[in-house]
Chains A and B, each alone.
Chain A
Amino acid sequence: MLVKLRGKSLSVKELEKISLILKSYKLKIGLGILLSLIIISFLEPIITRCVLGDMDPLAPGTFEKFLSPSMEHLLGTDHYGRDYFILVLMGLKNSLLVGFLGALLSTLIATLVAFSSGYKGGLFDTIMNSVTNSMLILPTWVILASIVLYVRGIDIFAVSLLVALFIWPGSARSLRAQVLSLKNKPYVDLAIVSGESDIEIIFKELLPNLTPFIMFRFSSLIIGAIFFEVSLRVIGIGASEYISLGLLINWFLTRGAIGAGYYHIVFPPIVLLILIFSSINLINAGLDEIFNPRLKKVTGE
C-alpha cells in the first residue's frame, strides 16, 4: 500500500515537474525575451544589407549628424552621422556573442577547476580553493580593465577569453561543493570498487549528474560576461572596431548626446541591456523554482 502510494506520488511529482516547466511564467517570459533578442541579432547582417545596401555601417559622415528617428532611420543617426538602428543591432549581436563565448569558456574553466580540485583534494585543492576565494573577494574587474587597456588590437574573441579568465571563481566554488557532496555517494564507491579509473568516474558518474547544475551556472555566467564586457566599454576600454552596447553607452555619455536631449540615442542600448539582464535572471529564477526542492517543500508549490 505504502509502496504503491509512494510510486504514485513519485510519478505525480514527475508530472508536476513537467507541468511546472510549462507553467513557470518566469521561465516562459525570460526565454521569450532572450530568444527574440538572439533571433534579431542573427538577422543583423540581413537587416543591415536591406537598409544600407553596400554602404559601410561604420563609416562616419554617411548621413547627417543626430537625425531624429524617421522611416529611413528608425532610431535616427549618431554623432558621426551613422544609422543608429544598425549600430544598436550590431552592438546587441556582439554583446550577446561576448556573453555566450565568455560564459562558455568560463564554464569550461570552472568545471575543470572544480573537478580537478574537488575530486582529488589534497594540496592542489587547498591552493585552488584559496585562489578561487581570493578572486571572489577581490575587485578583479579593475585588474581586467588595466590589462585590456594595454593589449593592442584586441578583438571580440580575445575580450571574451580575458573576461572568461576573470569570472569563473563563483561557479567553480559552487561546482566544487557539488562535486564534494557527490563523490561520497554510494554509487561512486561502487564505481571505485568495480575498478573504474578517476577519469571514467568523473566523466561517467559525476559529470552526467551535474549537467543541469552546470547549465544553470552557464546562464548566470552569461550575465557575468556581458556585465564585465559592457563595463569595460562604458569607460572607453577596448577597440572601437567592434561595436558593443557598452561602447554605444560610452559614446552618448562622452559626446554630449544626453545633455543635448537626443534621447533616441540614449534609450536603445539601456533598454536592451536591461532586457538581456532581466530575461536571463528570469530564466534562472524559473529553473531554480523547478529544480530546487527545498524552495518547493516550504512554499508548498
Chain B
Amino acid sequence: MRAKRYAAFLIRQILYYAITLYVSFTVIFFLLRLIPGNPIRIFQETIERSYGGTPFSDEVIEWFVEAYGIKDDIFTQYVKFFQRSFEGASLGPSFIAFPTPVEVLIRQRLPWSIVLLGTTTIVAWIIGIIIGTLVGLKRETKISDLLFSLMLVLSQIPSYILAIALLLLLAYVIPIFPPRGGYSPTVELNLLDLKFILSAAYHAFLPALSIILVSVCGWILSTRALTINILGEDYLLLAQAKGLRKSRILIRYILRNLLLPQTTGLMLSLGGIVTGSFLVEWVFNYPGIGSLFSQAIAFRDYNVIQGITLLTMTSVLTANLMIDLLYPLIDPRVLHEEVGKK
C-alpha cells in the first residue's frame, strides 16, 4: 500500500518536473529569439568595440548564421533546438573559444561550481538550522537577542557584496588569501594530487565563506521564527507535561517539525543561491559556470549564454525533484495527502 502510494507520488512529481522543464525551455527559446537584432552582428560589434579591427565579411556572417542554425524559420529552429538539447546535449559552438562547443566549455567549469555550491549550500543549511534552533530556544538571553539583530542586518546583504568586502579585507589589505582563480598556477590540475586539492581549497575559501555567511544568516532567522512558533504549539506543551526527556522533545518534536518547512525553504532558495554564487564567482574570478557566464556576457556569446541558462534551469529543477522525492521520508503525511486529494 505504502509502495503504491509512493509510486503514485513519484509519477506525479516526475510529470510535474517534465512539464516545468519543457515550459521553461520553450519560454527561454522564444524570449531569446524575440529580441531584435542578429546575435552574430551584435557579437561582431562587441569585438570591434573591444579590439577594433575589420568587420566580418558577409560571407563570414553567412557561414556563422549557417553554423548557428538561425537561418531556418522559428518552428524548424524550435524542433532542432529540442533535438539538439535532449538527444546529444549539444549546445552549439561558442564564440569566446570558437569553435569549442558550449557543452565542452561548460563541462570544464561545472565541477568547480558544483563543489563550491554544493558544499556551501549544505553546510550553510545545517549550521543555520543548528544555530537557529539554539537562538530560538534561548531567545530570552542577551547573546541570542544580539545575534538576532546582527543576523537581521546581515541576512539581506547580497553575497557578492560580502565577497567584495572579504576580498578587499583578506586578500588586499591583509593579504592572507589569494584574490582570484581556482588554484595556484604553480600546481598542476590533478585531482589525485594533494597539493592541488589543498590549493583549490585555499582558493575556494573566501568565495565559500561569503556564500555561507549570508545564507547562514537567512537560515538562522527562519529557523528561529519556526522554533518560536513550535514552542507555542499545544503538542509541545503536552510533550513537556508528559515529562519527556529534553533531548527527545528537541529531536522528535522541534527538529522534526522544523525540517519540513526548511526543506521547502531550501528548494525555494536554490535559484537565488545559484544567482548569488554566479556573482561571487565573478568577483573572485573563480573558474566556475558563473565566471563563464560573465565572460560570455562581455562578448555577447549567444550560445554560451543560452547554454548556461538552460543548464541552471535544468539543474535547479532536478535538485528540486530530488528533494521532492525524499520528502515523504521526512514527512509521511505528504503521501496520504496526495491520495486524499484524488
| B-binding residues in A (CB < 8 A) | 26, 130, 134, 136-143, 145-147, 149-152, 223, 227, 230-231, 234-237, 249, 253, 258-259, 261, 263, 266, 270, 273-274, 277-278, 280-282, 285, 294-295, 297-299
Contact = CB atoms under 8 A, between A and B. Distances in A.
5 contacts: A234-B279, A259-B172, A274-B161, A278-B152, A298-B231
A134 B23 contact: yes
A274 B152 CA distance: 12
A277 B165 CA distance: 15
A130 B17 CA distance: 11
A142 B308 contact: yes
Given A249-B164, A298-B228, A143 B309 contact: yes
Contacts of B312: 139, 142
Interface in B16-46: 16, 20, 23-24, 27-28, 31-32, 35-37, 39, 42
A122 to B, nearest CB: 16
Given A139-B313, A258-B172, A266-B164, A299 B305 contact: no
B188 to A, nearest CB: 26
Interface in B141-176: 149, 152-158, 160-161, 164-165, 167-168, 172-173
A263 B275 contact: no
B249 interface: no
A interface SS class: helix
A137 B282 CA distance: 23
Contacts of B39: 150
Nearest to A227: B158
Interface of B: 16, 20, 23-24, 27-28, 31-32, 35-37, 39, 42, 139, 149, 152-158, 160-161, 164-165, 167-168, 172-173, 179, 225, 228-229, 231-232, 267-268, 270-272, 274-275, 278-279, 282-283, 293-294, 297-298, 300, 305-306, 308-309, 312-313, 316-317, 320
Which 4 pairs from chain A and chain B are nearest by CB? A139-B271, A150-B35, A278-B153, A141-B275
Given A147-B35, A295-B228, A281 B317 contact: no
Contacts of B31: 143, 146-147
Nearest to A234: B279
B275 A142 contact: yes
Contacts of B229: 294, 298
A141 B158 CA distance: 14
B156 A223 contact: yes
Nearest to A285: B152
Given A149-B300, A231-B279, A270 B309 contact: no
Contacts of B231: 298
A134 B24 contact: yes
B313 to A, nearest CB: 6
Contact of A137 (B165, B268, B300): B268
B158 A277 contact: yes
B271 A140 contact: yes
Nearest to A263: B168
B157 A282 contact: no
B297 A237 contact: yes
